[in-house]
Amino acid sequence: MSTVLKGVYIDGTWREGQALLEVINPASEAVLAQVSVGDGLAVKQAVDAASAAFSGWSNSTGRDRAALLRRIAQGVSEQREQLMHLQSSNNGKPLFEAGIDVDDVIATFEYYAAVAEALDAGQDQPVVLPTEDFSARLRREPCGVVVLIVPWNFPMVTTAWKLAPALAAGCCVVLKPSEVTPLAELQLARIIAEAGVPAGVFNLVCGTGLDVGAPLAADRRVAKISFTGSNAVGVQVMQRAAETIKGVSLELGGKSSLLVMADADLDLAVELACGGGFFNAGQMCSATSRVLVADGLADKFLRRLQVRAQGIRVADPFADDVEMGALINRAQYERVLGHIQRGIESGARLLCGGERPVDLPNGFFIQPTVFTEVPLDSALWNEEIFGPVLCVRRFATESEAIALANDSDFGLVASVVSANTETAERVANALQAGTVWINAPQVIFPQTAWGGYKQSSIGRELGPWGLAAFQEIKHVIRAH
Ligand code: NAD
């Protein structure tokens, strides 16, 4: 019998929920734990607690909030190994990838601690007016009780990107992790409690989208929802939020491109293509699943990409030399295999992969997969696959490459590989994407924004934009 964990933390206490959900290890399909999860009642109690705590927390100093964020960063750092372990066993990602996740969480809390500390001095800035009859000052105030809803692909990271700025701003929070991967967030919640968060300032309700996410989005006392997940659910969240005119920040899907220009270093291009396609088993909103290669390089590039992709060691997340782990669950595994099958039927050429690795009979593993000659009107080319599948097309000119990359409903990220800085910068400027990497892996800094164009996002996370998402602007104007 697996452990039963309490999945509801409200007003400073851990509580039993209303139902039990099983959490599995996607690499072995074994049950890791059962989590006692909440429903509409827990949602109501969590919003009650957050509303009651708001007056105190919103009037605390930035300096005090910074101290809490630093203690959380410290707690995460002290439990780095344990959190990595939880992340890999619940999500199926290799341990080294889980290490990158945990380090990102630490960096995010530390960054927003510094941001929170600077808030006190920046408050009540005088505004220059065209008359001496009046004076005005600018205040940035926390927007209220906020709801954070996150997915399963980067548990803890997507949470930290919302939670750290929300707490820094002075908001009270109700967090709903993915029902598929609550374990790392449960541990993070324990760390936050131990760090001394005041009761009601941080609340967590594990549960399904319908039982917990939907009532959270509907509660009229909630000022703002920050959601990361699929476009389909993003639409539902926005519709619910519209009924009470809540603010929404959405981080949704992507169909991003890696552009290999005619002068690119081929080895670098192959490494970046594999990183952009197969990191986290391709389950990344930022996957550069479209690879556009200059005609002159394409044959050589494809030969090297095929060899590299076939050599990637797909294995249990804890194996020593693992390069790619498991997909998240059976539904996702079948969805990705379905995309691959329809891709073949659409006329795209399967260069390698496309199946379960023969040495892994259990768990949700799929080989790194590469298609070429992918039809422009196919689902493979246009839809987010969220699995280890790359689609390669050739281009003749720079403008054709840019047009192909921009021809998407999404616009989250892009990567450019070129030996010529001028070419790379020019192409980067022309791409409709929130982040463009040049000759670089997908490094993300808390100082730079996260989010994209078109249907990928509403708003931006990280940096000062991530904080502004949880603030209201107030001007106080006085007659003299
Ligand atoms: P999902 O949309 O199914 O679920 C996301 C969260 O929403 C979960 O916590 C889920 O329980 C909750 N939810 C489901 N139905 C709801 C409802 N009706 N009301 C409120 N909440 C509800 O997404 P997923 O499958 O967990 O994650 C994969 C998706 O997330 C992909 O589309 C991916 O592109 C996207 N994603 C985007 C980013 C980004 O930064 N742009 C980052 C990670 C993942």
Q: Residue 470 in 3-state DSSP?
A: coil
Q: Which band of pLDDT confidence, cut at 50, 70 and 90, is reported for residue 136?
A: very high
* Ligand 1 centre distance from Cα of residue 91 (Å): 15
Residue 451 lies in a domain: no
What's the rounded Cα separation, in Å, for the pair 158 and 152?
Answer: 9
Residue 361 lies in a domain: yes
Backbone angles phi, psi at 317, to 5 degrees: -55, -20
Instruction: Assess whether 229 and 304 both reside in one domain.
Output: no
Per-residue pLDDT, averaged over 322-349, amounts to 98
Per-residue pLDDT, averaged over 358-387, amounts to 97
Residue 364 lies in a domain: yes
Run of H or E residues at 184: helix 183-194
Instruction: Assess whether 74 and 164 both reside in one domain.
Output: yes
Query: Around Cβ 44, how many Cβ atoms within 10 Å?
Result: 16
Residue 396 lies in a domain: yes
Instruction: Assess whether 313 and 441 both reside in one domain.
Output: yes
Q: Which pLDDT does position 162 carry in this prediction?
A: 98
What's the rounded Cα separation, in Å, for the pair 387 and 456?
Answer: 18
Q: Which band of pLDDT confidence, cut at 50, 70 and 90, is reported for residue 370?
A: very high
Q: What is the mean pLDDT of the chain?
A: 98
Instruction: Assess whether 218 and 311 both reside in one domain.
Output: no
**Integer CA distances (angstroms), 10 to 147, 198, 204, 205, in order:** 13, 11, 7, 8
Instruction: Assess whether 224 and 303 both reside in one domain.
Output: no
Is the pLDDT score of 270 beyond 60?
yes
Ligand 1 pocket residue status of 19, Cβ below 6 Å: no
**Integer CA distances (angstroms), 69 to 73, 113, 396, 415, in order:** 6, 5, 50, 33
Catalytic annotation, pick one of 143, 172, 285, 391: 285
Is the pLDDT score of 389 beyond 60?
yes
Q: Which pLDDT does position 476 carry in this prediction?
A: 98
Per-residue pLDDT tens digits for 47-81: 999 999 999 999 999 999 999 999 999 999 999 99
In ligand 1, which atom is closest to the CA atom of 461?
Answer: 40
Instruction: Assess whether 239 and 270 both reside in one domain.
Output: no
Instruction: Assess whether 244 and 290 both reside in one domain.
Output: no
Q: Which pLDDT does position 347 carry in this prediction?
A: 97
Q: Which pLDDT does position 3 carry in this prediction?
A: 85
Per-residue pLDDT, averaged over 189-212, amounts to 98
Residue 170 lies in a domain: yes
Residue 81: active-site member: no
Q: Which pLDDT does position 334 carry in this prediction?
A: 98
Residue 274: active-site member: no
Is the pLDDT score of 2 beyond 80?
no
Task: Supply the CATH number for residue 442's domain.
Answer: 3.40.309.10
From 285, 448, 457, the mutation candidate for ligand 1 (largest count of ligand atoms within 8 A of CB) is 285
Is the pLDDT score of 1 beyond 60?
no
Q: Which pLDDT does position 91 carry in this prediction?
A: 97
What's the rounded Cα separation, in Å, for the pair 324 and 313?
Answer: 6
Range of the domain at 172: 3-252+456-479
Per-residue pLDDT tens digits for 147-199: 999 999 999 999 999 999 999 999 999 999 999 999 999 999 999 999 999 99
The number of distinct structural domains making up the chain is 2
Q: Which band of pLDDT confidence, cut at 50, 70 and 90, is reported for residue 281?
A: very high
Instruction: Assess whether 465 and 441 both reside in one domain.
Output: no
Residue 148 lies in a domain: yes
Ligand 1 pocket residue status of 461, Cβ below 6 Å: no
Instruction: Assess whether 344 and 205 both reside in one domain.
Output: no
In percent, the amount of the chain with pLDDT more than 90 equals 99
Task: Supply the CATH number for residue 48's domain.
Answer: 3.40.605.10
Instruction: Assess whether 233 and 269 both reside in one domain.
Output: no
Per-residue pLDDT tens digits for 350-365: 999 999 999 999 999 9
